[in-house]
Amino acid sequence: MTELLPPDAAGVARAALLLRGGRLVAFATETVYGLGADATDARAVAAVFAAKDRPRFNPLICHYPDAGAAFADVAADAAARRLAAAFWPGPLTLVLPRRPNCRVAPLAGAGLATLAVRVPAHPLALALLEAAGRPVAAPSANRSGSVSPTNSAHVLDGLGGRIAAVLEGGVCPVGVESTVLDLSGPTPALLRPGGVALEAIEAAIGTVATGSGGPLRGPGMLASHYAPRLPVRLAAEQVGADEALLAFGTPLPGAGALYQLSAAADLREAAANLFAGLRALDASGKTRIAAMKVPMRGLGLAINDRLARAAAPRTAGLA
């Protein structure tokens, strides 16, 4: 049985106790729900991969209650400190060199010399991290290859019975995963677009290297990721009778089933609704999802990245 814990002090205390005992607890962040494990406990980290049916040991993001705690495990340079001051708590993950005394189990970082760290902007997540008193490794709380969860019902859909608890935290306000930025090389590199816009990062630290075209790839990111059950057709300009429409702005005419990401064509609103929309259209009874075009600016980079992955040929997912 998976416990559903209330979003209060007692729920946080119970969640922290479970985490400290090596158990798995899903919790809300501002991006999506994370599947948390004590990052210093290799057995707990291994249990994350097992619960998700992750076919490979991808590096996981470690979560901290503040930048001071994060930078005890990784070496932060001036750019990292500036970004932490500007965007933490928030949906930005920094990949930095592990310090020699890093507490995080090597398995959590897939044996790499670098570690991905983040301070989430969600009061319950911060309270849990504070109470846990140790880094918490947390990939998205979904089975491998499926759409990331943005409410507790999504988590229970995929992981109910496989994890100790879910800390109820309502609907995730950002709705797409964090931006992953690699600061361990000679120049900053975008590994995954996400909740902090590239333009905002470049305003803080200057030019960031990006992959050209198509889904970006950090280690362990396959093209097919974030996949709904139905196939997805991108940049749709009309809708077929067998298709469910993922609308952005004025919907294409004639859709029999429709999910509106944002009637006002607001990219933040669309990002927040994206994964719930893919789930809703999966249940529409149609045979394919037709996604309308979303502009490539601001959070549009993250939305288009997730849609491109959802539309990619299906291989063993690594979500």
Is the CB of 278 or the CB of 319 nearer to Mg ion?
A: 319
Is the CB of 55 or the CB of 295 nearer to Mg ion?
A: 55
CB 226 within 8 A of CB 31: no
Q: Which stretch binds ligand AMP (CB under 6 A): 55-63, 204-212, 228-236, 305-313?
A: 55-63
**Contact flags string 102-121 toward ligand AMP, x per CB under 6 A:** -------x--x-xxx-----
Q: For the segment 131-190, give every residue that binds Mg ion (CB under 5 A).
A: 140
Positive/negative CA dihedral, 50, 182, 268, 236: negative
Q: How far is the CB of 174 from ligand AMP (least distance, A)?
A: 13
Q: What span, in angstroms and rounded, lies between the C-alpha atoms of 90 and 63?
A: 11
Size of the site for ligand AMP (CB under 6 A): 22
Q: How far is the CB of 245 from ligand AMP (least distance, A)?
A: 27
Residue 59 sits in the site that holds ligand AMP (CB under 6 A): yes
Give every CB contact of residue 43 below 8 A, 6+ residues apart in sequence.
22
- Find which of ligand AMP, Mg ion, none residue 60 binds, CB within 5 to 8 Å per kind: ligand AMP
Q: What span, in angstroms and rounded, lies between the C-alpha atoms of 299 and 91?
A: 11
Determine the Cα angle at 237 with ends 236 and 239, to 5°: 75
Residue 273 sits in the site that holds Mg ion (CB under 5 A): no
- Find which of Mg ion, ligand AMP, none residue 30 binds, CB within 5 to 8 Å per kind: none
HEC assignment per residue over 186-228: CCCEEEECCCCCHHHHHHHHCCCECCCCCCCCCCCCCCCCCEC
In 10 A of CB 111, how many CB atoms?
9
* Local structure of residue 98 (DSSP, 8 states): B
Q: How far is the CB of 113 from ligand AMP (least distance, A)?
A: 8
Whose CA is closest to 236, among 156, 292, 284? 292
Which residue among 155, 180, 246, 302 contacts ligand AMP (CB under 6 A)?
A: 180
Is the CB of 277 or the CB of 317 nearer to ligand AMP?
A: 317
Contact residues for Mg ion, defined by CB under 5 A: 140, 319
